[in-house]
Chains A and B, each alone.
Chain A
Amino acid sequence: MASGSATSDPPNHPNNDVAVVIDGVNKHFGSVQALQGLNAQIRFGRLTGLVGPDGAGKTTLMRILTGLLAPNSGRVSVAGFDVVDDNDAIHAATGYMPQRFGLYEDLSVMGNMRLYAQLRGLDADRNAELFAELLDFTRLAPFTGRLAGNLSGGMKQKLGLACALMARPAVLLLDEPSVGVDPVSRQDLWRMVQALTDEGMAVVWSTAYLDEAERCDSVLLLNEGRLAYDGPPGELTGRLTGRSFRLEQVGDQRRAVLAEALDLESVGDGVIQGAGVRMVLRPHAGTGQITALADRVDAQLRAVPARFEDAFIDLLGGGPGGTSALAEGLPPVRLESDIAVSCRNLTKRFGDFTATDNVSFEVRKGEIFGLLGPNGAGKSTTFKMLCGLLKPTSGEAHVVGLDLRRATGAVKGQLGYMAQKFSLYGLLSVRQNLEFSAGVYGLDGATRRARIEEMIEIFGLQPWLSSAPDSLPLGYKQRLALACAVMHRPPVLFLDEPTSGVDPITRREFWTHINGLARKGVTVMVTTHFMDEAEYCDRVAMLYRARLIALDTPDALKRRAASDARPDPTMEDAFIHLVEAEDLADEARSKAAA
């Protein structure tokens, strides 16, 4: 991109001109209100983040902007064209990359590019230069003959971008471009989008990752169909100046300290961050209570810069308290051995594809153990082997001292598993789902009734009891799934992406439960694609290309990535650092072999 543009002919709009006007937009599907009274503007030459949890209305707004949906009331104009009246012009003026990138998996990279070029009225044969530029821009040139279905998540995303960039759109709309993409490819995408906005293109980037908001020039924050904030991200985080603090090096006490802090009147929000505890004060609250807390636990209190997520939770009125009703009612877990989960040389091959390659680790009782890695790195496969859902090709695994090769049945009674896709029965009501789970785990009689009532109480499921799980808001679906997984009080809990697709407040609530359970001695295995959530874990195993490339505490992992240029790296920095180091080592190995 040094010598110019990926799009040959930059859209001719002075920066900061209005690209999109959203005026009083309402949209509902049946009785579900997707967008309510939305007013906003999006400008050329800027990266505008459309930020919010899943179900907030991001995709609906995106589809309205591309002219695929019409608002029920209100008007939207994109690049000067009304999305309803000038629908045809909208399709020419915008480039749109839907979720999952809209690629034909059984066509080659070149086949996809040619198709989208022709659909946009470009003669593929006469635009060799444009193609070469786009391929260069996306670094896909070596892969033109490969089928799109065989590309990695990152490469698919770049190909989707290349297809959306055909015919020089004035407004580029990217719907959750970073989902299913590893941090390294995400970095690449930021670089490309930056280059495009520098040329004057208006780029809208929708995301559920709140940390991505901080990298945007401007942010539209959506929550439950309403605009919660519109402006530069710095302005929102600026409101929290002097309200974000961290208790450094709290050590093993940190979960108790966090619970205590969250129950303080002056603290609105708090999370574990490595060995420390991060807290955000409520508006106009003094530091008295937290200073006292710091003194009592003998930890240093340090002011830290506010994050976008802090600001969002503050905007929503603060997070939940620190006490988990779920953990309160639980008797402490007793195990014969101190090691709750262990695996040695665990390997799983599907045909000639190795999904998990020689992975070994041990998890102590009461530990929160995170598995982190890009999609396809082998997280879920490893997880499923440890739950006894998949048979390892080789290697062995033990859960609560039971050998998974022999005692899968007994093991399953000792663990709770919450699958990535909800393992709920859509045709059963919420209560019937709870009863079914109680039944399969062998609870009966009074215990069964008591546990079901307990779950309804703790997760606030009362209003939904006779509804179908599919009609529940996402957050409640996840609550129900968690309730079904913990009802039989298992000593080991496997949570596969438990917080994907839920709003930040519900995420906080989930972590309060997880922290509480861990303090009672429940061992929690968790996978996540939220980088910041990795910091809530005691130890993190990083998986990359089926191999375990690092296993350490979050703080230690971050320290490895520290450099003079980056003294305080984030978890994402640490991840990228480790992956790059692994790639370098790979290259060195293959060179040595050659």
Chain B
Amino acid sequence: MRRFDPKRLWALVVKESLQAVRDPSTLLIAFVLPVVLLLLFSYAVSLDVRAVRIGVVQESESASAQSLAAAFAGTRYLNVTFAHDRREVSERVVSGELRGFVVIPQDFEQRLADRGARPLVQIIADGSQPNTANYVTNYAQGVVQTWRGGLGIEASQAGVTLEPRYWFNAELESRRSLVPGAIAIVMTIIGTMLTALVVAREWERGTMEAVLSTPASVAEILIGKLLPYFALGMLATLGATALAVFIFDVPLRGSLAALLLLSATFMVPALGQGLLISSVTRNQFLAAQIALFSGFLPAFMLSGFLYEIDAMPAPIRAITWFIPARYFVSSLKTVFLAGDIWAVFVPNLLAMAGIGILFFVLAKRATRKNLE
């Protein structure tokens, strides 16, 4: 084994940093991309359903029917178009203008008097968008229920009223859970994609050969490569956090120290994966492709960032156990929205470190000591 020389390592770190600073694409990825992603996730992509357009067909003109129609009009979650004939609205559902409609039938008064023997209203929803359809039916039912409750008729039947409270994200704003997740995406790009690219670039340009022929050891060369990108990843995290807290109003309920510790630990598997990819391919194009499919996409889809892991089918859920971003996203949401909850952090930290070490062991095996 060659003696580990900190001076040589430092020379390599300086070289790598100079290269990173001179390469506009690196800076773009590290500092512009996070801003773009955060903007996208906080404004353009919203999982909240608001102001859904529905129709309300008033076949009955009775006072109670009027009052129910008014209840629909009064909610800010629905945007109601009134009609007197269901044919008027059904066409607009077909054309996609409305997501569904509620029919208040002619015999509404009678049904109301029957006290639940027959359904009060009919709800039709556009099933081609299942999420929205669900939302329309649930919310329409909610409106009817509340309205009925207001009449005092149901009091005897439903002795318990539910008053739900959402913890950690009281208004259920998706931005608050998406923005911390976006940080995980940015870190994956910097850690895995950028690292895979820059190591592969050295092989492609023949500089790896020249550096390997000097007394520098493989460990020095690889650590010299990773340290600057580790620093870059941490800087990007700080930048993204500042944006999230000060511009997008996401609370940081945990401590900054915990956030940094989590990010630093996540960089271990992210960098390890990048290193593994580049030492296997030695080709920038391939490295980019593999990093995209094995790093970026899973971090996007399977980390619980966009889609809830609990809602995934069991086999997919099993796959998520091997995706480091999963642990990072869950920790990030906790540190931003809940606080420093070490019972959540510790298993996540261990999992990330474990996967990271596995990647490094594999990368070390794949990095042949010489050119063979």
Interface, chain A (partner B; CB < 8 A): 29, 63, 66-70, 88, 91-92, 94, 96-107, 111, 114-116, 118-121, 123, 163
Is B257 an interface residue, CB under 8 A from the partner?
Answer: no
Given contacts A102-B206, A119-B11, contact A66 B5 (CB under 8 A): no
CB contacts (< 8 Å) of B22 on chain A: these are 106
8 contacts between A and B (CB under 8 A): A68-B209, A68-B370, A96-B213, A100-B206, A106-B18, A106-B22, A116-B214, A118-B11
Contact yes or no, A67 B213, CB < 8 A: yes
CB contacts (< 8 Å) of B153 on chain A: these are none
Contact yes or no, A163 B210, CB < 8 A: yes
Contact yes or no, A96 B210, CB < 8 A: yes
B338 to chain A, nearest CB (A): 44
A136 to B275 alpha-carbon distance, docked (Å): 39
Is B207 an interface residue, CB under 8 A from the partner?
Answer: yes
CB contacts (< 8 Å) of A97 on chain B: these are 210
Closest 7 CB pairs of A and B: A102-B210, A118-B11, A96-B213, A119-B214, A100-B206, A98-B209, A91-B215
A69 to B216 alpha-carbon distance, docked (Å): 16
Q: Determine which of B5, B209, B212 lies in contact with A121 in the assembled complex, contact meaning CB atoms within 8 Å.
A: B5
Identity of the chain B residue whose Cβ is nearest the Cβ of A112 in the assembled complex: B15
Contact yes or no, B371 A69, CB < 8 A: yes
A116 to B19 alpha-carbon distance, docked (Å): 15
A415 to B206 alpha-carbon distance, docked (Å): 36
CB contacts (< 8 Å) of B213 on chain A: these are 66-68, 91, 94, 96, 98, 102
Is B76 an interface residue, CB under 8 A from the partner?
Answer: no
Is B8 an interface residue, CB under 8 A from the partner?
Answer: yes
Interface, chain B (partner A; CB < 8 A): 2, 5, 7-8, 10-12, 14-15, 18-19, 22-23, 205-207, 209-216, 370-372
Identity of the chain B residue whose Cβ is nearest the Cβ of A92 in the assembled complex: B215
CB contacts (< 8 Å) of A101 on chain B: these are 206, 210
Given contacts A63-B371, A121-B8, contact A104 B19 (CB under 8 A): yes
Identity of the chain B residue whose Cβ is nearest the Cβ of A65 in the assembled complex: B213
B371 to chain A, nearest CB (A): 5
A116 to B207 alpha-carbon distance, docked (Å): 11
A115 to B12 alpha-carbon distance, docked (Å): 7
CB contacts (< 8 Å) of B205 on chain A: these are 100, 105
A480 to B7 alpha-carbon distance, docked (Å): 51
Given contacts A98-B206, A107-B18, contact A67 B370 (CB under 8 A): yes
Identity of the chain B residue whose Cβ is nearest the Cβ of A115 in the assembled complex: B15
Q: Determine which of A29, A67, A98, A107 lies in contact with B15 in the assembled complex, contact meaning CB atoms within 8 Å.
A: A107
| Highest count of chain B CB atoms <10 Å: which of A70, A92, A106 | A106
Contact yes or no, A68 B15, CB < 8 A: no
A102 to B207 alpha-carbon distance, docked (Å): 4
CB contacts (< 8 Å) of B372 on chain A: these are 29, 69-70
Given contacts A67-B370, A96-B213, A119-B214, contact A106 B23 (CB under 8 A): yes
Contact yes or no, A114 B11, CB < 8 A: yes
CB contacts (< 8 Å) of A103 on chain B: these are 207, 210
CB contacts (< 8 Å) of B371 on chain A: these are 63, 68-69
Contact yes or no, A121 B215, CB < 8 A: yes
Interface of B is mostly: helix
CB contacts (< 8 Å) of B210 on chain A: these are 96-98, 101-103, 116, 163
A329 to B22 alpha-carbon distance, docked (Å): 57
Given contacts A100-B206, A105-B205, A111-B15, contact A119 B8 (CB under 8 A): yes
A-B contact sample (17 more), CB < 8 A, given A63-B209, A102-B210: A63-B370, A68-B209, A88-B2, A88-B215, A92-B215, A98-B206, A98-B210, A107-B15, A111-B15, A115-B11, A115-B14, A116-B210, A118-B11, A119-B12, A119-B215, A119-B216, A123-B7
CB contacts (< 8 Å) of A118 on chain B: these are 7-8, 10-11
Given contacts A102-B206, A105-B205, A118-B11, contact A69 B370 (CB under 8 A): yes
B19 to chain A, nearest CB (A): 5
Q: Determine which of A63, A91, A106, A114 lies in contact with B214 in the assembled complex, contact meaning CB atoms within 8 Å.
A: A91
B263 to chain A, nearest CB (A): 28
Identity of the chain A residue whose Cβ is nearest the Cβ of B22 in the assembled complex: A106
A115 to B211 alpha-carbon distance, docked (Å): 10
CB contacts (< 8 Å) of A116 on chain B: these are 210, 214
A364 to B181 alpha-carbon distance, docked (Å): 69
CB contacts (< 8 Å) of A121 on chain B: these are 5, 7-8, 215
A107 to B11 alpha-carbon distance, docked (Å): 13
A94 to B213 alpha-carbon distance, docked (Å): 8
A104 to B211 alpha-carbon distance, docked (Å): 10
A469 to B128 alpha-carbon distance, docked (Å): 51
CB contacts (< 8 Å) of A98 on chain B: these are 206, 209-210, 213
CB contacts (< 8 Å) of B15 on chain A: these are 104, 107, 111, 115
A435 to chain B, nearest CB (A): 28
CB contacts (< 8 Å) of B370 on chain A: these are 63, 67-70
A122 to chain B, nearest CB (A): 10
B121 to chain A, nearest CB (A): 63
A121 to B214 alpha-carbon distance, docked (Å): 10
Identity of the chain A residue whose Cβ is nearest the Cβ of B15 in the assembled complex: A115
Contact yes or no, B19 A106, CB < 8 A: yes
Identity of the chain B residue whose Cβ is nearest the Cβ of A160 in the assembled complex: B210
A96 to B206 alpha-carbon distance, docked (Å): 12
A116 to B216 alpha-carbon distance, docked (Å): 10
B11 to chain A, nearest CB (A): 3
A118 to B212 alpha-carbon distance, docked (Å): 14
A119 to chain B, nearest CB (A): 4
Given contacts A68-B370, A119-B214, contact A111 B12 (CB under 8 A): no
Contact yes or no, B215 A102, CB < 8 A: no
CB contacts (< 8 Å) of A29 on chain B: these are 372
A416 to B308 alpha-carbon distance, docked (Å): 60
| Highest count of chain B CB atoms <10 Å: which of A29, A103, A104, A114 | A104
CB contacts (< 8 Å) of A63 on chain B: these are 209, 370-371
B208 to chain A, nearest CB (A): 9
CB contacts (< 8 Å) of A114 on chain B: these are 11
A120 to B214 alpha-carbon distance, docked (Å): 6
A98 to B370 alpha-carbon distance, docked (Å): 14
A331 to chain B, nearest CB (A): 45
A63 to B214 alpha-carbon distance, docked (Å): 13
A124 to B372 alpha-carbon distance, docked (Å): 32
CB contacts (< 8 Å) of B215 on chain A: these are 88, 91-92, 119-121
CB contacts (< 8 Å) of A163 on chain B: these are 210
CB contacts (< 8 Å) of B18 on chain A: these are 106-107, 111
B47 to chain A, nearest CB (A): 42
CB contacts (< 8 Å) of A105 on chain B: these are 205
Given contacts A99-B206, A103-B207, A105-B205, contact A68 B8 (CB under 8 A): no
A97 to B371 alpha-carbon distance, docked (Å): 15
Q: Determine which of B19, B206, B209, B214 lies in contact with A107 in the assembled complex, contact meaning CB atoms within 8 Å.
A: B19
A487 to B58 alpha-carbon distance, docked (Å): 80
B302 to chain A, nearest CB (A): 32
CB contacts (< 8 Å) of A92 on chain B: these are 215
A166 to chain B, nearest CB (A): 8
B15 to chain A, nearest CB (A): 5
CB contacts (< 8 Å) of B2 on chain A: these are 88
| Highest count of chain A CB atoms <10 Å: which of B11, B22, B213, B371 | B213
Identity of the chain A residue whose Cβ is nearest the Cβ of B372 in the assembled complex: A69
B193 to chain A, nearest CB (A): 19
CB contacts (< 8 Å) of A88 on chain B: these are 2, 215
Identity of the chain A residue whose Cβ is nearest the Cβ of B220 in the assembled complex: A119
Identity of the chain B residue whose Cβ is nearest the Cβ of A116 in the assembled complex: B214
A116 to B18 alpha-carbon distance, docked (Å): 15
Identity of the chain B residue whose Cβ is nearest the Cβ of A114 in the assembled complex: B11
Identity of the chain A residue whose Cβ is nearest the Cβ of B370 in the assembled complex: A68
B23 to chain A, nearest CB (A): 7
Identity of the chain B residue whose Cβ is nearest the Cβ of A163 in the assembled complex: B210
Q: Determine which of B5, B19, B209 lies in contact with A102 in the assembled complex, contact meaning CB atoms within 8 Å.
A: B209
A375 to B119 alpha-carbon distance, docked (Å): 85
A163 to B214 alpha-carbon distance, docked (Å): 10
